[in-house]
Structure 1
Amino acid sequence: MKSVQENCSSSTASEMIDLEDQRKMSVFGRDKNVQVDWKDLTVTAEVKQANAGCCSKQTETKTILSGCTGSAKSGEIMAVMGSSGAGKSTFMNALTHRNVETLTIKGSINVAGAALKDDISKISAYIQQDDHFVGALSVREHLDFHADLRLSKESAQTRKETVDRILKIIGLDEIQNTIIGVPGLNKTISGGEMKRLSIAAEILTDPPIIFADEPTSGLDSHLALTVVKTLKALAANGTTVLCTIHQPSSEIFNEFDSLLLLTMGRTAFCGPPANASSFFAEVGAPVPANFNPADHFIREISKFKDLETGTSDRDTNETRIGQICDKYNDSKYASAMKNELIASNSGDKMKLMIKASKKFRPNPFYAFWKVLMRGMIAQYRDKTLAAIKIVQNLGVALIIGLIYLRPARPVQPYDSNDVFNSNGALFAYVCSFSFNYMFLVVFTFPRMAIILRREYYSGLYQLWTAIMADMLALVPFTILMPLLYAAITYFMVGLNPAAGSFFLQWLTLFQIAFCATGYGYLISALSPSVEAANAIASPLMLPMLIFGGFFLQSDTVPKYFIWIKYLSWFYYGSENLYSAQWENLGYCNTEFSDENTANSVVANADNAKCEEFYGAGTEYFSGDSVLKRFGYEPDNIERNIGIMFALGIGFRFIGYLILSFKYRSKA
């Protein structure tokens, strides 16, 4: 059920054509008389042979589009239609030059007579089928973010006026302060509002060309009509609009100025919808009275036309479809369309438009600041999520504190049990921090992949901008939480009371969190999905844990695994935590035997205190004896601090290189 807001905004959007502001859509006075032509467009792909074995590299060439010719004119909205597998997505990818790395494209694709290829993205907008947003932002904040980056060279007042105008034109002004939300996690704006918000972000720069992939997907008939009317209004202002669409209602179909029918990778028709009805009548398939023309056309060019009757003959249908395509190619409609193609030229007009588009490219550091601010909002605006993170960390601190609770005994020295428990608490610090902070970020890049891919390929920012901003947005949390964690556990466990020891342990906990999040980012960059990240995170963490010095003494690590030891922040973090605890602190050996007497520090006062509390014969041992059991050296503290910072940065840098490789081209 739609909300009252949705009803209001939908009504507003339905009347957009009549808005006075519609005549002001060309915000920057662009000459938008841009025609998109494609001639003899053929697209093939190498696919694995169906009968090839699992390890075979034998491939065959599959033709996806074959000899397609057509044109989309300025000021018109074209519907690209066809049954599943007709080649619609490949056609849009070829025109926009996206997802074409595995494809071989032949023929010509021209914009105003110029072949642009990758440069087409600089003068066009691509509205994707799925709507993805940073859910913590409001509708206004989302558009402000895009306006700040896409129009960064304009004044703040111009950007504000542009956003105000777009909000009104798209019909979102009444919900501009509403939080977008995340589907499945919290309350969101409606599907129609999300789709119009996607359109709004793309038209901020008033692009001459708009490509829309299934803009009505998942919407009811009313919202779908609202979205198509939005695109129609943009086309009426001179924009060239192409959109793939699936099963439009007759009312929606009547909004289109031109139609492209694809079937089996071939063109069945390209031209005005009225001419399509005439053409199909000429080939013996007239549109029945009171019947949706769109449904009829799709039915006629479907390979499985009679499937519901049980008499489908695929070969016969393919032959019939081939005849329709052949008749179209020989028809007066195809000839008229070919005569309207613009002859190839030097592209001077396009060069000027591409040059003009550079004024919309933001300064990298300005973009970094804006992405960082958005990341801070995403991290901390959701009070429920922030509370969960805080409770999780402080809850673990309380649990560890209660497990290893040592009542305050300022005079009584440590005994052997205190040593064992304190060591266990310290390693629990390392483990809990490492796993908590790794899983805090390990799903980051799989979750943000779609948004990152779209915004990066649209030229909003450079890749390092988004990665650095997301990482820095978490820094306040990784500084504050270790301090609170240490403050809770330090006194509950009864650790070394020296102030220097406390601050060294806080610094070490921060560095452990820094390394763990860096390692999490690396795993996140490696992972293609959230499920994959979840599956590999723990196994990849296990070696770091084993070589931390608690389960395997550091100086006994096999040579062939020594490199893992030096990559393990568990090792460096444990060494610093244990050194902070035991460097200037000893204990009374209540389990004393005749062995290792050399570790005993003969100090009558200390021995006397041990005997006072724990009985005769109890001797005082220095903390060095504890450190030697694990192969730790207090002299390594400064070295470890430097190495842990280097590891945290190194893990992040490797993650950046992995993402750079993944995003090396428009895949």
Structure 2
Amino acid sequence: MATETCSLLSVGQSEYGAAPSMISALEAVDPVTLTWHNISIQATKSGKQILENVSGIAKPGQLLALMGASGAGKTTLLNMLLSRNLKGLDTNGSVKVNGHELGRRITAISGYAQQDELFVGTLTVKEYLDIQAKLRVNGDADKRRRRVANVMSQLGLYKCQNTRIGAIGGQKGISGGEMRRLTFACELLSNPSVLFCDEPTTGLDSFMAESVVQVLSTLAKSGRTVICTIHQPSSQLYQMFDRVMFMAGGKTAFLGSPKDAIQFFEDAGFACPRNFNPADLIIHTLAVMPNEEDKCRQRIEVICTKFQNSSYGRTLKIGVEKTDEGQRPSERRKTGILTQIGALLQRSAIDTWRNPSLTRAKVIQKSIMGLFVGLLYLQSPLTSIGISNLNGALFYLVCELTYSTIFGILNFLPTDFPLVSREYHDGLYSVFSYYVARCLSYLPLFTADGLIMLLVSYWLVGFSNSLVQVLFACLIAFLIEQSSSACGIMISCISPSLPIAMSTAGPLLTLLSLTGGLYANVGALPSYISWIQYLSWFKYGFEAFAINQWSSVNEPNSTIWTEAKRDSVLSQLSFHADMFYPDLVIMSAFILVFYFIGYLGLAYRVSKAR
């Protein structure tokens, strides 16, 4: 079992509110040896060879750096080791952990700090790490708090802990270097046995780059297996790696210690001058230069062949082929589904609340529209024209509750999808947990704004205002808005992009509104198109509103308003008073069906995104 060990890096006075001695260290892990044998990858359509018979080994206690010129195959190899981002590629070869092929289950024992930063920009650094800890760390709140304190201390994130993360091209927040360190911090929270990093020093200054590599080195020394790709490290960083693997043209040019790499290339005729960065020399030697492609490829082929026939290559081959099966590494347990939903709901709620387009703007918009409707139909009398106006006001409420809700929620998934896909395949949570949390986070906003509009306009227009009718009107408005919200989420989840979702929603709403009961009498629709009304919550919502309104009216002499008059008004719209409760049930069913279809669409898209 894992036990608590000393802190990876010494920390000074804690800014987290606890003494340094209280900052918990990362837990120890069982040692893991990672081997890959004869990895070959080519593009399915073009047939381009990306990797060719690449083999290697990464041992616990060692920091391995993958280096090479652009296009050498470093990131592709990293993706192969993680069994991800391989869509459109044909792969061969084996990847083993302690002699066991884990396939995609390798994510349960590893962390992957990717180069592209994906965050929820409205959260602060500390808020984001706290929520990530809930998703990544099994244990009580105190354990998660200490883990967050530890990684913040290691990566120097205290200074910006209360700063919103922000987004590239959007809201300003933390710097690019701080954002890169936050990516790394999230992976450290899960305390992985194997840590993969894609360009971990990108965007960092030389001091912070050295600090990050020092953290990686210390992680490795504590028994972890650490593999990173890195682009042209300084000579000082180069010497900090335990092992280096140089790649060129999709092949292995060298794998061994940094010192042995210098000796190998010197023996091959590429000696490193004094006071020259050996990494720069080797990468330049292995690069394919413009207008010298054939010459460079011949040189690469000679170097790769020389490595395979050298003592370094033979030692590597023996090490890869004769690795015995060891203990199967224990996989990280996912947090409980309620914990996942709670953490994601907290994240979504903060994001929704801090997004002005979904909070203050919507409340102001609905208040203004409610006031406009109230003034437009101000105290409509119970004349034939007044009754027609009241029906028009009711249908307008249905439309306003629908259109603004759907078009306000269509970005439900497109903006979240890259982050959701990454975190799902990292094993942080299930699609169901994300979906439930995200839908629940929208519920308060897409309930309150509709009720504000309804109540602002209700007494101005002169709708029937008995307590029961007002409460039923609120319930109907809620069901209409939730039907719209669920439909918008469904369209968002099954559409591959926001433009397609927008293009789908427009014509769909036009059809549903035209068969909603005001523009055309539902009883007089042609048979070949009348079936659409049964799929329209416009119709059910309008009918429920009308039945509720005309069941009783604000008339001083209420004896003149009879059931016969109610039925007469409703019959002009081909509505029936006994459909009130069925209308409510049908709209409730719409909500459930839309949410279910949306979930299936999201689950399918996320599963195919790896």
Q: TM-score, normalised by structure 2?
A: 0.89
Residue from 357, 363, 368 that aligns with 1:390: 363
Aligned pairs for 1:65-80 within 5 A: 65-80=51-66
Residue segments in structure 1 that go unaligned for 5+ positions in a row:
1-14, 50-60, 588-602, 608-620
Question: Which residue does 1:42 correspond to in 2?
Answer: 40
| CA distance 1:346–1:254, shift in 2 (3 Å) | closer
Offset of residue 326 of structure 1: 1.7
Say yes or no: does 1:282 pair with 2:281: no
2:352–2:441 CA contact under 8 A, matched in 1:
yes
2:98–2:325 CA contact under 8 A, matched in 1:
no
1:35–1:71 CA contact under 8 A, matched in 2:
yes
Q: Give CA-to-partner distance per residue, 1:146-199, whole Å, 9 cap, x none.
A: 3223333x2332222222222222222343333333444433122222222222
1:372–1:472 CA contact under 8 A, matched in 2:
yes
Question: Which residue does 1:581 correspond to in 2?
Answer: 549
Offset of residue 289 of structure 1: 4.6
Residue from 393, 407, 420 that aligns with 1:425: 393
Say yes or no: does 1:434 pair with 2:402: yes
| CA distance 1:604–1:231, shift in 2 (3 Å) | closer
Offset of residue 238 of structure 1: 2.6
Question: Which residue does 1:297 correspond to in 2?
Answer: 282
2:25–2:150 CA contact under 8 A, matched in 1:
no
Identity of aligned residues (%): 35
**Matched letter for residue 576 of structure 2:** E
Equivalent residue of 1:238, what SS? coil
Say yes or no: does 1:514 pair with 2:516: no
2:61–2:225 CA contact under 8 A, matched in 1:
yes
Offset of residue 431 of structure 1: 1.5
| CA distance 1:262–1:530, shift in 2 (3 Å) | farther
Q: Give CA-to-partner distance per residue, 1:544-568, whole Å, 9 cap, x none.
A: 2222223332223444444432221
Residue from 591, 597, 604 that aligns with 1:654: 597
Offset of residue 636 of structure 1: 1.1
**Matched letter for residue 77 of structure 1:** L
Q: Higher Cα Rg: structure 1 or 2?
A: 1
Equivalent residue of 1:175, what SS? coil
Question: Which residue does 1:100 correspond to in 2?
Answer: 86
Instruction: Count residues in correspondence.
Output: 594
Question: Which residue does 1:260 correspond to in 2?
Answer: 245
Superposition RMSD in Å = 3.0
2:377–2:389 CA contact under 8 A, matched in 1:
no
Q: Give CA-to-partner distance per residue, 1:388-441, whole Å, 9 cap, x none.
A: 221122222223333x141x48xxx42343234323322221121111111232
CA distance in 1, matches of 2:243, 2:520: 72
Return 79-88 or 517-526, whichever deviates more. Answer: 79-88
| CA distance 1:396–1:298, shift in 2 (3 Å) | farther
Offset of residue 92 of structure 1: 1.1
Equivalent residue of 1:459, what SS? coil
Question: Which residue does 1:367 correspond to in 2?
Answer: 340
**Matched letter for residue 27 of structure 1:** L
Q: TM-score, normalised by structure 1?
A: 0.82
Equivalent residue of 2:416, what SS? helix
| CA distance 1:630–1:302, shift in 2 (3 Å) | farther
**Matched letter for residue 508 of structure 2:** L
Residue segments in structure 2 that go unaligned for 5+ positions in a row:
1-6, 13-19
Aligned pairs for 1:304-453 within 5 A: 305=289, 307=290, 312-341=291-320, 343-347=322-326, 349-351=327-329, 353-354=330-331, 357-358=332-333, 361-381=334-354, 386-402=359-375, 404-406=376-378, 408=379, 413-453=381-421
CA distance in 2, matches of 1:556, 1:569: 18
CA distance in 1, matches of 2:211, 2:424: 29
Question: Which residue does 1:6 correspond to in 2?
Answer: none
Equivalent residue of 1:658, what SS? helix
CA distance in 2, matches of 1:435, 1:146: 35
2:35–2:97 CA contact under 8 A, matched in 1:
yes
Equivalent residue of 1:262, what SS? strand
CA distance in 1, matches of 2:245, 2:508: 51
Question: Which residue does 1:12 correspond to in 2?
Answer: none
Offset of residue 34 of structure 1: 2.0
Q: Give CA-to-partner distance per residue, 1:72-117, whole Å, 9 cap, x none.
A: 2222222222333322222111101112354333222122232221
**Matched letter for residue 359 of structure 2:** A
Question: Which residue does 1:91 correspond to in 2?
Answer: 77
Q: Give CA-to-partner distance per residue, 1:216-249, whole Å, 9 cap, x none.
A: 3344444444433332332232322111223334
Equivalent residue of 1:528, what SS? coil
CA distance in 2, matches of 1:345, 1:541: 63
